Amino acid sequence: MSVDPATVKKIARLARIRVDEAELPALADEVNGILHFVEQLQSVDVEGVAPLTSVVHRSLPLRDDVVTDGGSAETLLANAPDRIECFFTVPKVVE
Amino acid sequence: MAGELTKLGIAEAKAGLAAKDFSAVELTSAFLDAMEGGRALNAYITETPDLALEQAAKSDARIAAGEAGPLEGLPIGVKDLFCTRGVLTTAASHILDGFTPPYESTVTSNLWRDGAVLLGKLNMDEFAMGGSNENSYYGPVVNPWRRNGDTAALVPGGSSGGSAAAVAADLCVAATGTDTGGSIRQPAAFTGTVGIKPTYGRCSRFGIVAFASSLEQAGPMTKSVTDAAILLGSMAGHDPHDSTSVPTPVPDYAAALTGDLKGKKIGIPKEYRVDGMPAEIEAWWAKGAEWLRDAGAEVVEISLPHTRHALPAYYIVAPAEASSNLARYDGVRFGLRVPGKDLIEMYENTRGEGFGPEVRRRIMIGTYVLSAGYYDAYYSRAQKLRRLIANDFETAFETVDAVLAPTAPSAAFASGEKADPVSMYLLDVFTVTANLAGLPAMSVPAGLSDQGLPMGLQVIGKPFDEAGVLNVGFALERAAAFKAKPAAWWRA
């Protein structure tokens, strides 16, 4: 499988990364190099093998459903690139 | 005297402090001087001298009061992937510009609890993606080691390249690293230092900037196996803030170091003998097997049949997890923001400018393999391969106690030598298997190459048997008697 510059543009859009048009062909080559490398997995017989999602052999622990933290608005906002009062800001999304 | 102090590892510095040969402030000052003289290596992104001296003074007070912790007064460098309260944390990325965490990672909390002193934050590959430390927004780290009769700059390995260089050049007593596909072990091998990646779940990942959550672990990078045992003992432990951290008691790792391997069986995986492997790597590997035999172990050949599929599986799983983890960098809550005419354009501009080329590549690959129509062909298949690789080890550990292999397929190489991403990925060929299977694995220096560069040997062990891995490492260390240090050319 290989990707063309148009597909790379689509992936970049999905990943929310701006890529200049002029960079697309070179980036497609890089992505294809990697895809070609991982392609070798297609030759392995994995019939009946269950995917391994975690190497921790125990079920996810549940904690008590109680409040343990909170009331830290100032701390949470301290690193915000921009804020208004107690809120993060983003460019206007509704007209 | 000061120059001598920086040569000390954890065990010797602890003894010196206990005997009152020097104070924690004197020890810390010696390292701060060395760091200033070692800036040509670019090992540190942020130095924290004021904080270090303040912590050291408190350590001296606790030592005087007889309340010294296990790491009291020991000056440590921390990879800049660990969140440190009030201290800039960058993951070596432009996108985390100015990020000052309001909280502390659990691993570093454990270090301060035990009395350690923070010297500063160590350089690395951006978001821990890389094997040469050339992918840092803050510039590459230079390996303190050079080839015989050559002044060409070599890479320190990566991604924990700053940690490895700082330990090798005596710019800290020891350092923390993280290992997602070899990022502790490979730089340790390239710099003649010791590094161990513990079992997945042994150290808390809380407060470590996430890259590939199912693969990564924190671990110590040190001047000796004994130091690694002591530092790991402080770093490890269960943490309710990380649901994958395991509530298994942490043994006294240093106490397990006997170097006696009688009754132990060590496996040599025949599939690790890869095409084009330099003869001297084979030779050091054989030498390592001989050392373990001398220490009483029985050495047998084993088979890990799915080894050759580990790298492609890793380079699907890790980017997939990265694309998901790095979605949080959106220019809204912390770090860099590059304006745009609307919300989407602001995201795209921020991420386009904030991520370096390798991080961008991996996010793109991850996004692609997880996208509709490709999930089964790539991601799901890679996870199945991951199962087969883990099964290989499980089968092997029915007959052997640990596995001996080379750490890396080459010694340190020159900056810019591996420009193609895939040739860089191939460096991880011997290390990614332990991450995919979640196993403890360490690198120990074996000796010098023909060109005068350090070569590492890798020990891979059973889940939660760090003590066993460290003891095999200890036997190797004793037999290798590796005492070489790089010439201090970087001191102006």
- Is residue B411 assigned to a domain? no
pLDDT tens for B141-194 read 999 999 999 999 999 999 999 999 999 999 999 999 999 999 999 999 999 999
- Is residue B474 assigned to a domain? yes
pLDDT tens for B80-107 read 999 999 999 999 999 999 999 999 999 9
Stretch B290-305: mean pLDDT, rounded? 98
Residue B3 confidence (pLDDT)? 65
Residue B463 confidence (pLDDT)? 97
Contacts of B368 in chain A (CB under 8 A): 3, 11, 31, 35
| pLDDT band at A56; cut points 50, 70, 90 | confident
Residue B277 confidence (pLDDT)? 87
pLDDT tens for B331-359 read 999 999 999 999 999 999 999 999 999 99
Contacts of A33 in chain B (CB under 8 A): 420-422
pLDDT tens for B479-488 read 999 999 999 9
- Is residue B56 assigned to a domain? yes
Contacts of A18 in chain B (CB under 8 A): 345, 348-349, 351-353
**CB-facing half-sphere around the CA of B256: CA atoms within 13 A:** 20
Quick check: helix, strand or coil at residue B176? strand
Start-end of H helices in B326-460 = 343-354, 357-370, 381-396, 421-425, 432-437
Q: Which of B293, B263, B301, B269 is nearest to B475 (CA)?
A: B293
Nearest Cβ partner of A41 from B99, B339, B385? B385
Nearest Cβ partner of A49 from B355, B384, B425? B384
Interface test with B, best of A17, A24, A58, A93 (most B CBs within 10 A): A17
CA distance A29 to chain B (A): 11
| pLDDT band at B373; cut points 50, 70, 90 | confident
Structure tokens at B126: 């951006």
Nearest Cβ partner of B333 from A41, A56, A88? A88
Mean pLDDT of chain B: 96
Asked if B302 and B400 touch (Cβ cutoff 8 Å), the reply is yes
- The CATH number covering residue B60 comes to 3.90.1300.10
Nearest Cβ partner of B201 from A27, A37, A56? A56
pLDDT tens for B38-53 read 999 999 999 999 999 9
- Is residue B129 assigned to a domain? yes
Amino acid letter, residue B384 = K
Query: Facing residues of B449 across strands?
Result: none
Residue B2 confidence (pLDDT)? 55
Residue B276 confidence (pLDDT)? 83
Say if the Cβ atoms of B344 and A16 lie within 8 Å.
yes
For A40, the closest chain B residue by CA position comes to B312
Contacts of B421 in chain A (CB under 8 A): 30, 33-34
| pLDDT band at B365; cut points 50, 70, 90 | very high
- CA gap B142, B162 in Å, rounded: 8
Please state the domain count of chain B.
1
Structure tokens at B29: 């000052």
> Of residues B398 and B421, which shows the higher confidence score?
B398
For B374, the closest chain A residue by CA position comes to A1
Mean pLDDT of chain A: 93
In what helix (H) or strand (E) does residue B447 lie, and over which residues does it extend? strand B441-448
- Is residue B216 assigned to a domain? yes
Phi, psi of A16 (to 5 degrees): 55, 50
Residue B212 confidence (pLDDT)? 97
Domain of B177, in residue numbers: 2-242+464-491
- CA gap A75, A72 in Å, rounded: 5
Report, in this order, helix, strand and coil percent for chain B, each rounded to 5.
40, 15, 45
- Is residue B300 assigned to a domain? no
CA distance A43 to chain B (A): 10
- The residues of B annotated as belonging to the active site are 79, 159, 183
Contacts with B149 (C-beta within 8 Å, 6 or more apart), sequence order = none
Say if the Cβ atoms of B332 and A88 lie within 8 Å.
yes
Compute chain A's Rg from CA coordinates: 23
Asked if B441 and B386 touch (Cβ cutoff 8 Å), the reply is no
Q: Is the pLDDT of residue B226 over 70?
A: yes
For B102, the closest chain A residue by CA position comes to A75
Contacts of A63 in chain B (CB under 8 A): 240
In Å, how far are A65, B157, B348 from B407, measured between CA atoms? 45, 12, 39
Structure tokens at A95: 């007209």
Chain center to CA of A35: 18
Contacts of A93 in chain B (CB under 8 A): 342-343
Say if the Cβ atoms of A56 and B244 lie within 8 Å.
yes
- Is residue B456 assigned to a domain? no
Q: Is the pLDDT of residue A80 over 90?
A: yes
For the purposes of burial, counting CB atoms within 10 Å of the CB of A94, is it exposed (0-12), middle (13-18) or buried (19 or more)?
Answer: exposed
Nearest Cβ partner of A46 from B246, B385, B420? B385
Residue B492 confidence (pLDDT)? 67
In what helix (H) or strand (E) does residue B111 lie, and over which residues does it extend? helix B106-113
- CA gap B332, A89 in Å, rounded: 7
CA distance B367 to chain A (A): 6
| pLDDT band at B423; cut points 50, 70, 90 | confident
- CA gap B38, B25 in Å, rounded: 20
| pLDDT band at B16; cut points 50, 70, 90 | very high
